[in-house]
Amino acid sequence: MLKLNILLHIFYLFFFLNILISSKHLKYPIDKEQYYLNDDINCPENCKDGKCDNSTKKCDSCIEGYHGNECNEKCSTNCISCTQDEGNCESCKDGLNPIGYYCCVQNCIECNDAGCIKCNYNKYGKKCQDCPESCEEKEGQRKCDQDTGNCYSCVSGKFGETCEFDCSEGCDLNVKNCDMNDGTCTCKDGFYGTKCENECDKNCEDCDKIDGTCNQCKAGYYPKNKDCIKCPENCEGECPEGICEACKDGFYGDICDMSCSIFCKGNKCNKNDGMCECINYFSKESFCSKCINHYDLDTNCTQCVKNYNIDKECNECINHYDIDKECKSCLPNNDIN
């Protein structure tokens, strides 16, 4: 009986040893990792479906967002999935395109996680936006700097780093565009200043392009500093420095502000002193205000009536004549003197 028990114990011992040895050739999944009892290998946690090489632990494939033999390296920013070996991006978040290892914005040729490094022609910045609208496009040259977006040159009528400013209205753009850096330019007629931002006096035909001093005014005006002053109203022709070259009929003086005598012939008198040729028999020496002898002032210097004293401007009678009776003979017995 004792021998039988010993034999049974030996049998059961070999039976359990056989089960134990056989179990080492079985596979059991543990927390999504593939566990191999025969060599105690745990597959890396990012292996897809927990599958990896039995000897190297290289994953058969990776879950989204990872790459590498053991799927322990993340795909680049904004990359949804990438190749296992190289990590090159295969799909990106909305609005981005896979280019090599990275996800780049539209119009980008080369980028990294910080943004675009090289944009398509006439785009700039990390997001490859359009160059400023007023940048001038020239053959064989980008419109703006890849990094800053500053223009290389401006379209006509614009200046500034991004051509955001308008050239002055007074710039003659037919000659040349205003300077890109500071807006200085060649002025049109009628404007002055470094940027031609100031307008000459409206009655000036030619003013200094730097300080605006008028060199030539329109007819009827004379220059005084930057202004054109209207000539005195009775001037005839030009008036250099405000002095009339000639006066209209009926006026005289430097600024033609004095009137000729109404008895000047043709209403004309000397510009300088007012002397003139008188009508009828007015006296020139009196500026046509008195008659010459023998003529009557009250009748515009017509000849005196008979018997008036010709030496008294026709206001006295000769002896023996009565002025009350228009220089008729005195009555008898009156004083003959």
Alpha-carbon distance of 155 to 135, in angstroms, equals 6
Surface-to-core class of residue 123, CB atoms within 10 Å of its CB (0-12 exposed, 13-18 middle, 19+ buried): buried
Predicted pLDDT of residue 133: 94
Q: How many CB atoms lie within 10 A of CB 294?
A: 16
* Inter-CA distances, 26 with 38, 39, 44, 157, Å: 8, 11, 19, 83
The H or E element containing residue 300 is none
Q: How many CB atoms lie within 10 A of CB 24?
A: 10
Predicted pLDDT of residue 40: 54
Could you tell me the sign of the dihedral formed by the alpha carbons of 257, 263, 265, 266, in that order?
Answer: positive
Structural domain boundaries in the chain: 133-197, 291-337
Alpha-carbon distance of 223 to 214, in angstroms, equals 6
* Inter-CA distances, 310 with 163, 165, 319, 326, Å: 93, 88, 12, 14
Could you tell me the sign of the dihedral formed by the alpha carbons of 290, 294, 295, 298, in that order?
Answer: positive
Share of the chain above pLDDT 90, in %: 54
Predicted pLDDT of residue 26: 39
Predicted pLDDT of residue 276: 87
Contact, 127 vs 115, CB < 8 A? Answer: yes
Contact, 183 vs 168, CB < 8 A? Answer: yes
Tokens in use for 143?
A: 């419109």
Against a cut of 0.75, is the pTM above it?
A: no
Regions of the chain short of the pLDDT cut 70: 1-41, 281-287, 289-290, 292-337
Predicted pLDDT of residue 74: 94
Predicted pLDDT of residue 175: 92
The residues pairing with 15 across neighbouring beta strands, listed in sequence order, are none
**Torsion angle, alpha carbons of 58, 63, 67, 71, to 10:** -40
Q: To 5 degrees, how large is the angle CA 140–CA 143–CA 147?
A: 115
Alpha-carbon distance of 67 to 61, in angstroms, equals 8
Tokens in use for 7?
A: 């034999």
